[in-house]
Amino acid sequence: MKISLKTKLFGAFFGLIVFSVVLTWVLNSTLLQKYYYHNQRNTMRQSYNIIKDAYNNDSDNIMMDIEKIESLRGTAILLFDKDLNVIYQSRQRNLQMLRENRHIMGTAPSIDRKFIKDKISRLQTDTPKIEIRYDKRMESNFVSLYAKIDDNIYIYMGTPFAAIQESSQIAISFSILTGLLTLVLGGLIIYILTSRVTKPIVKLNVIAKKMAVLDFSEKYYVNRNDEIGTLGESINSLSKQLESSIRDLQQANLKLMQDIQKERQIDEMRKEFISNVSHELKTPIAIVQGYAEGLRLNVNDDEENKNFYCDVIIDEANKMDSMVRKLLELSELEFNQISLERDNFPINELITDVLKKKAILFAEKDAKVTFNSKGKDNVIVNADYYYIEQVFMNYLSNALNHMDDKKIINVDLEITDTKARVEVFNSGKNIPDEVIESIWMSFFKVDKARTRAYGGTGLGLSIVKAIQKAHNNAYGVINKAEGVMFWFETDLA
């Protein structure tokens, strides 16, 4: 069982009080009477000396001295002559009269004179004899002194022992009373003191426990100038430092986690990329292998056959070459390894130039390509000419590859406040909504069979995305009623 510091302190101090109260009581009840008796003996001896002195010096005050001793000390006094006749007994006022009427006194009832005479007669030295005498008639003990004053006169003095007992009884019961009062008051004071000492420790304990579970909200209110106050200050500063260190640590940890996450993502992307590249290369390499073998086996065949084999090999090699170039370009763009060569040029002219260059291709594919340039002369933009041409050509080649039987391709140029927006529409199937975001990823193809047919690698749009990002410009695709429209923006000069 855990005992609190407060209980322990309270117990220790209260125990100390109880111990001292009990000790006082025990000492009082065992030793007080003896001590009293001892004192009483001394007092008797003193009284005896006073009377002896007065008598020897023939003092006139002897009556006064005797009376004082009788009344103040509650002592009965008897004086005897050398024949042991009583010549004075307490409560008699006139000594002279006493001396003359010795016989009257002989009948004084209160003192056991026979016993006293007997004692006195047996006195051997001049020193007074003191002892406790039990008086049968009084049924009480007396502290008694028997002594010689000179050769002619003897004295007896007696003080009731009951008085001593009573006084010590009173002292003991009073000590019990004061003891109880001390216990109550002392207990109260100790309770208040221990509370004052332990309260801040309890509070500090609460704070420390909260700190242990990383709750640093609680602070110690320092309002004292002692060791506990200093401890409170130390705990406060510890809490503050811990809080900031842990916050830093948590932030660092969060950053680390993010970095790890990023690293994992990059690793994932790298793996996917490698698998994609190897997958893309597998087919052309297999074809090259196959046709090269075929060429070796059919060496004797006719020239036309040989040429066909060679054409296929060259074609596949070109595809691989084109893919590798695209990949290189893409990685350069994505890792910011190229710096754009920005120039001011009319974008409408770029469009017409490209359309002119590709005119034969359009004719071959029977595509109806239009560009309505009316009112859009001399739209000067600021961009890297080579890369913007690439973006446009990629859109255009995609349009050619995906147009339907209507074979419509419309190019449009829109101008906003700060941007020129080029749109390339082709009639054809919409791109499904669930993959419309994915077409910008490397190697992504909506319809793999169709893409293989025109020899697409799935890199065109990711190159567009990288170029637009490098220029910090927007791009996108919108499904239209009868086709798809791709767009991109460039900065107006």
Q: Can you give the binding site for Mg ion, defined by CB under 5 A? A: 398, 460
Give me the least distance between CB of 448 and ligand ATP, in Å please: 8
Give me the least distance between CB of 406 and ligand ATP, in Å please: 13
Whichever of 111 and 484 has its CB closer to ligand ATP, that residue is 484
Selection from 169, 190, 185, 182 nearest residue 18 by Cα: 182
Give me the least distance between CB of 321 and ligand ATP, in Å please: 13
Whichever of 117 and 326 has its CB closer to ligand ATP, that residue is 326
For Mg ion, which residue has the nearest CB? 460
Selection from 373, 369, 371 nearest residue 409 by Cα: 369
Residues 6+ apart with CB under 8 A from 217: 210
Size of the site for ligand ATP (CB under 6 A): 21
Binding-site partner at residue 451 among ligand ATP, Mg ion, none, CB < 5 to 8 Å by type: ligand ATP
Whichever of 277 and 446 has its CB closer to ligand ATP, that residue is 446
For ligand ATP, which residue has the nearest CB? 460
With beta carbons less than 8 A apart as the criterion, state whether 329 and 363 touch: no
451 lies in the binding site for ligand ATP (CB under 6 A): yes
Binding-site partner at residue 47 among ligand ATP, Mg ion, none, CB < 5 to 8 Å by type: none
Residues 6+ apart with CB under 8 A from 280: 323, 443, 457
Binding-site partner at residue 172 among ligand ATP, Mg ion, none, CB < 5 to 8 Å by type: none
CA 373 to chain centre: 72
Q: Which amino acid is at 454?
A: Y
User: Any long-range contacts for 127-131 (C-beta under 8 Å, 24+ apart)?
Assistant: 128/44, 128/45, 128/48, 130/41, 130/44, 130/45
428 lies in the binding site for ligand ATP (CB under 6 A): yes
Residue 344's SS3 state is strand
Residue with tokens 């009284």: 47
| Binding segment (CB under 6 A) for ligand ATP, from list 32-40, 226-234, 255-263, 459-467 | 459-467
Instruction: For residue 319, give Cα distances in angstroms to 283, 289, 292.
Output: 11, 15, 16
Give me the least distance between CB of 420 and ligand ATP, in Å please: 21
Binds ligand ATP (CB under 6 A): choice among 87, 172, 459, 467: 459
Give me the least distance between CB of 334 and ligand ATP, in Å please: 14
Binding-site partner at residue 445 among Mg ion, ligand ATP, none, CB < 5 to 8 Å by type: ligand ATP
Alpha-carbon gap, residue 168 to 4, rounded angstroms: 42
Binds ligand ATP (CB under 6 A): choice among 28, 89, 194, 457: 457
CA angle 432, 435, 439 (to 5 degrees): 115
CA angle 454, 329, 430 (to 5 degrees): 40
With beta carbons less than 8 A apart as the criterion, state whether 48 and 195 touch: no
Give the residues across from 86 on adjacent strands. Answer: 80
Binds ligand ATP (CB under 6 A): choice among 186, 200, 232, 458: 458
CA 246 to chain centre: 11
Site for ligand ATP in 193-212 (CB under 6 A): none
Binding-site partner at residue 484 among ligand ATP, Mg ion, none, CB < 5 to 8 Å by type: ligand ATP
The mark string for 371-410 relative to ligand ATP (x by CB under 6 A, - otherwise) is -----------------------x---xx--x--------
Chain residues binding ligand ATP by CB under 6 A are 394, 398-399, 402, 426, 428, 431, 439, 444-447, 451, 456-462, 484
